[in-house]
Structure 1
Amino acid sequence: MTTHQDYGLKTPGSEVARAFAERIRGKTILVTGVSPKSIGSATVLNLASQGPGLLILASRTEARLREVAAQIAEKYPDTRVEIVILDLGSQQSVRQAAVDVAALTDKLDILINNAGVMVTSRKATPEGIEQQFGTNHIGPFLFTNLLLPLLRKAAESNPPGATRIVSLSSAGHRLSPIRFSDYNLEGKPVPPEEDHVKPLQGAFAKCAPDGYNGIVAYAQSKTANILFTVYLQKHLTKFGIAAYTLHPGTIQTDLSRDQNDELTAQFYKVAPYWKTPDEGSATTLVAALDPALDDAKGLYLVDCQLAEPAPHTRDSISADRLWKLSEDLVGEKFSLRG
């Protein structure tokens, strides 16, 4: 149970930040995927309003980061803001960004993995991984693990559960489990338990000429966000670090820039209410800040409240299997056992 059971679909993130101001004040917080008029920018602006000690903005485009940083400086001139260039689709960029973060601070109280992509045509990361899986999961997997020493340092002086890792998923996770047998969506056969939900409806079912279905690829990556959180919860509680994931709601942002009109119309059918970026940041902020979650049994939030994700995201065996696959794809082992 959350602290504010009255929070819901239309709760603004600014209200959440004010309610949990004591969990922000003086803290070091990093948010990925920060660009103007996005959930990320709304999230950092709301955090900045309550006096964090250091707010780190991370994203691919320096000009966009500086635009949001300037907005914060104008509204909240006493808030220290730093920017870090981070392309989650490039493991080299992720590794450099982790080095850059460590040069700014020796501790990290809250990490918000907000960044993500959604595409309808086949693309790959420099490492040859399907772009949505590579950017939405593998990048955050590597970045989070590289920052764990800073999170563990913060947890030494924070109350248990106040140090948090928050990863944005999506209701779209319900459309597909992890396709372990074909995570690059190359048309390889998969067993029934790895296949996407059938039949997909309308524009969601349409594939590119090469057979690539961007909705299925996106859904797989969003399932990965939840299974990643399952694994983190299992292994980080002993260090005083909590992990949560969430569906922020349907928001008109640059995430949808690759969609055609038909696909956008399909989304309007399944999600009649579209949140503002401020409303879209609310569930993220509850996940990152609400102390009541320390005593709650849950990992996934929707509209500021705990909710149940699809059954295929709650399987600890799949979480373990995804962790190993992710280690293989980044070429590095990460032990959370000691």
Structure 2
Amino acid sequence: MKSTTWPTFGDTTTATEVADAFSDQIRGKNVLLVGVSPNSLGEHIALAISRHSPSLVILASRTASKINQVIDSIHASKPSCLVKSLTLDLSSQSSIRSAAKELNALTQKLDIIINNAALNVPDYETTQEGIEMHFGTNHIGLFLLTNLVLPSVLSAVSSSAVPGSTRIVNMTSAGHRLSPIRFSDYNFRKVASELPMEERPPEGLPKALTDPERPYSPFVAYGQSKTGNILFSVSLTEALGGRGVRSFSVHPGSIWTGLARNLDEQGQALIKATGKVWKTGDQGAATAVVAAFDPKLNDVLGGYLADCQLAPAAEFATDPKIAERLWDLSEELVGEKFDLGGK
């Protein structure tokens, strides 16, 4: 497996250190960061990047007041950084479409997209379109937003002197291993035994994670959405890799963020038990900054990163044929087809 520029970077490396190492690659870039709030991974990514003179940083999230708090933090350390805010609700496709129009009016060149936004809810909910909330927000919402602003990404490629430096980074999780895509039941109406074998959760999971007698598990639903993030990068690489766009999926590691705090007591106990190394926010943000700016990845056609290095993901999350099926399903769920020239 190919290495990054700094093979010594690992689970304790911070986003601050990574940004310092790749300062030249950050300078002059237009960056869209989706998913920011105070004390979140998004804020740590934004703070690390903003210190190195990007041309424009666009912060997109659901709550304007929280975006503004992050902007204040950025300007406290780098007053000259140009930062714009964009409010959108990833659980509403109409909100996403409105935000994409606003974004396309802000800039016609996006060098970097970092899709950091995600939610984790303990009870069954659906998006405004009736899609299970994790899948509909964490995957479908980001799928739609990214495709709607792809013309700005392709514009960046055409003006870049360095093929491969235009990137789309999708934050995922090691939790993707909890579930493949349930094509026959993405809305979790069936118990696992009613699913085709290839769509069932892996055998041997604790009953607290997936009860065989209950159709819905928030952990498995979250896992399905995170598998979707990896497969989305696979599809983007397949379609756009030859045109100079790179897409990577990133597992940030175990960080005590708002995602974990939203879980009930049992859920928090399970999360605590799975974390071998607990990272600070700055450490958790590091791998996303590697994926977005490491110049050695210009020559790598996509992949999954963890602890600042390329790493293996589950086979069901990296199969190009499964990625194509998910792309087709995603287009169906947003009611629009996207011509990427390579699909």
Q: TM range, normalised to the smaller chain?
A: over 0.9
Residue of structure 2 aligned with 1:279, choices 263, 277, 283: 283
Deviation at 1:211, TM superposition (A): 3.9
The alpha carbon displacement at 1:225 in A equals: 0.6
Q: Name the CA distance, whole Å, in 2 between partners of 1:238 and 1:170.
A: 27
Figure out how many residues of one structure are paired with residues of the other and give that number. 337
CA–CA distance in structure 2, aligned partners of residues 316 and 102 of structure 1? 30
2:262 alignment partner AA:
D
Match of 1:166 in 2: 169
Q: Equivalents in 2 of 1:118, 1:206: separation in Å?
A: 18
Aligned to 1:233: 237
1:292 to 2:312 alignment? no
Please say if residues 187 and 211 of structure 1, whose CA atoms lie closer than 8 Å, have aligned partners that are also in contact. yes
2:179 partner letter: S
Q: Is this contact kept in 2: 1:298–1:306, CA < 8 A?
A: no
Spell out the pairing of 1:213-232 with structure 2 (5 A cutoff). Answer: 213-232=217-236
Of all paired residues, the percent bearing the same amino acid is 49
Return the letter of the residue paired with 2:16.
S
The answer to whether the 8 Å contact 1:202/1:266 transfers is: no
Secondary structure at 1:165 match in 2: strand
Structure 1 CA distance, aligned partners of 2:30 and 2:302? 25
Moved more, 57-66 or 180-189: 180-189
Range that drifts further, 25-34 or 289-298 = 289-298
Amino acid paired to 1:215:
F
Which ranges in structure 1 are unaligned for 5 or more consecutive residues?
none
Alignment of 1:120-199 (within 5 A): 120-158=122-160, 159-187=162-190, 189-199=194-204
- Residue 262 of structure 1: how far off its partner (Å): 2.1
RMSD over aligned CA atoms reads 1.4
Within 2, Cα distance between the matches of 1:177 and 1:113? 20
Residue pair 2:164, 2:299 contacting (<8 A) in 1 also:
no
How far has the Cα of 1:163 moved from its partner?
A: 0.5
Confirm or deny: 8 A CA contact 1:29 1:52 kept in the other structure.
yes
Instruction: Indicate conservation of the 8 Å contact 2:171/2:252, yes or no.
Output: yes
Contact 1:94 1:142 in 2 (8 A): yes
* Structure 2 residue corresponding to 1:74, chosen from 76, 82, 101: 76
SS for the counterpart of 1:181 is coil
264, 274, 289: which one aligns with 1:260: 264
1:43 aligned counterpart, secondary structure? helix
AA in 2 matched with 1:2? T
Q: Distance in 1 between matches of 2:121 and 2:320?
A: 29
For residues 62-101 of structure 1, the aligned pairs below 5 Å read: 62-101=64-103
User: Could you tell me which amino acid in structure 1 is paired with residue 47 of structure 2?
Assistant: L
Q: Name the TM-score, length of structure 2 as normaliser.
A: 0.95
What is the alpha-carbon distance in structure 1 between the residues aligned to residue 42 and residue 207 of structure 2? 30
Partner-residue secondary structure (3-state), 1:120:
coil
Quote the offset at 1:75 in angstroms: 1.1
Q: 2:249 matched to 1:245?
A: yes
Deviations 1:123-142 (A, max 9, x none): 00000000000000000100
Q: Give the deviation of 1:94 after TM superposition.
A: 0.7
Q: Is the 8 A contact 1:69 1:81 kept in 2?
A: yes
Q: Please name the residue that 1:315 is paired with.
A: 319
Equivalent residue, structure 2, for 1:49: 51
Displaced runs of 4 or more, over 3 A: none
C-alpha change, 1:269 and 1:202, in structure 2 (3 Å) is: farther
Q: Name the SS of the counterpart of 1:203 in structure 2.
A: coil
**CA–CA separation in structure 1 for the residues paired with 2:148 and 2:182:** 25
The answer as to whether partners of 1:298 and 1:307 remain within 8 angstroms in 2 is no
What code does the residue aligned with 2:206 have?
Q
1:140 partner letter: L
For residue 326 of structure 2, what is the amino acid of its counterpart?
A: L
- Which secondary structure state, in structure 1, belongs to the residue aligned with residue 278 of structure 2? coil
C-alpha separation in 1, matches of 2:141 and 2:270: 29
Gaps of 5+ in 2: none
In the aligned structure 2, how far is the partner of 1:7 from the partner of 1:17?
12
Q: CA deviation at 1:210?
A: 6.6
In the alignment, the residues of structure 1 paired with residue 241 and residue 286 of structure 2 have an alpha-carbon distance, to the nearest angstrom, of: 24
Does the residue aligned with 1:128 lie in a helix, a strand or coil? coil
- The amino acid across from 1:91 in the alignment is Q
SS of 2:279's partner is: coil
Provide the C-alpha distance between the structure 1 equivalents of 2:172 and 2:228, rounded to a whole number of angstroms. 8
In structure 1, which of residues 327, 331, 337 is the aligned counterpart of residue 335 of structure 2? Answer: 331
- Tell me the secondary structure at the aligned position of residue 127 of structure 2: coil
Cα deviation, 1:83-102, whole Å, max 9, x if unaligned, reads 00011111011111111111
Q: Is the 8 A contact 2:247 2:301 kept in 1?
A: no
Partners of 1:294 and 1:210 lie apart in 2 by 45
Give TM-score, length-normalised by structure 1: 0.97
